[in-house]
Structure 1
């Protein structure tokens, strides 16, 4: 049975350490990916949250355009694309839609729909598109989507999302583990 997969982009499809070199370069830091223990990156710089937000707005397009894929994602998505609908739901701002689509094409990644909502609150989009499962890296998003939408959420392990998770949020370390869990879930929910 065809399912709708809701998939976050940044930190899930793209490598979760993408922003670290940019922060190191622009702020004179020497952070490693393992140093990032909170989703809020502004805690690592000696400027105000508003100044960090301005830096992000000034740099997000170049960072997104050069974002590397996380390992295994292309092969897994290609395997799923003919059997399921791949809906990418991202907190990216709407004005980045063309850049995002061009990145998907350049990376040779399949997609059926890309929705940039400009907010981390993905519950309404998950409900609107009636996704059956969600793939996420942000802890509070994963928990909220699971609880509000009553669907399983695959949470990709990162240093910044180590809080406890409820039943229904499944931690994985990579796309191979995600695929193995989803394959079992699909057989059980055929």
Structure 2
């Protein structure tokens, strides 16, 4: 049985937290004070000056150079071969802006997908302002039955509205235990969970 599957990028296709911990430490010259924080400013308790000076460098370094999680591209290909429809439904700073910065951010993401061999059936880009609602709208538009997500609030929002969520395990989402949310720790486990759904 083929399914429409929604997939987030940051924290799901990538290990954003580990990468930003490592690169932030290199850039700032000090270890993180809170490895469980999702935002870099909280991870390192950076000052406004540091955010202005280093924020853009770290952000674009991550967007361009962070590798995919282990087996992510391989599992993508396997899911496509089994006939599933894969839809990127993701939010990222600046990416929905209709200005040169937005154009650049969309190009960076497109290049990253091409570099690492990800092919998919559709993409729905969301703003930070209404992230939960926009991701839900993206799921409805693409008739998504399963969403692979890492954000606690988004996972709860989607699960409460009938969309099954595979929550990629991270330090910043460990507290979430909710109906219709299944925690996964690898892309191989994601593949296995989807295979279970195929039989239902």
TM-score normalised over the length of structure 1: 0.86
CA-to-aligned-CA distance 1:133-180 (integer Å, 9 cap, x gap)? 1001112211111112x0110001111111132121000111111111
Tell me if the contact between 1:64 and 1:100 (Cα under 8 Å) persists in the aligned partners: yes
Q: Equivalent residue of 1:5, what SS?
A: strand
**2 CA distance for matches of 1:81 and 1:57?**
35
Aligned-pair CA distance for 1:58: 5.0
Task: Give how far 1:60 is off.
Answer: 2.2
Task: Give the match for residue 173 of structure 1.
Answer: 185
Distance 2:89 2:53 in 1: 23
Q: Which residue of 2 aligns with 1:100?
A: 109
Distance 1:46 1:157 in 2: 23
Aligned to 2:158: 145
- Change over 3 Å in CA distance of 1:56–1:142 after alignment to 2: farther
**2: distance between equivalents of 1:54 and 1:88?**
31
Secondary structure, in 3 states, of the residue corresponding to 2:173? coil
Change (3 A) 1:86 1:157: same
More helix by share: 2
Pick closer, same or farther for the CA change 1:99–1:19 going to 2, 3 Å: same
Q: 1:53 to 1:164 in 2, by over 3 A?
A: farther
Change (3 A) 1:12 1:47: same
State which of 169, 177, 180 in structure 2 corresponds to 1:157: 169
| Structure 1 residues 43 and 61: alpha-carbon distance in aligned structure 2, compared to 1, 3 A threshold | closer
Matched, 1:123 2:123: no
In structure 1, stretches of 5+ residues that fail to align are none
Preserved contact between residue 36 and residue 43 of structure 2 (Cα < 8 Å): no
Who is 1:184 aligned against?
Answer: 196
Unaligned runs of 5+ in 2: 97-101
* Cα shift at 1:51: 6.4
- Asked if 1:111 is matched to 2:120, the reply is yes
Please give the root-mean-square deviation of Cα atoms over the aligned residues, in Å.
Answer: 2.3
Q: Match for residue 84 of structure 2?
A: 84
Summarize deviations over 1:68-105 as a string: whole Å, max 9, x none: 11011111110111311111111122322221111111
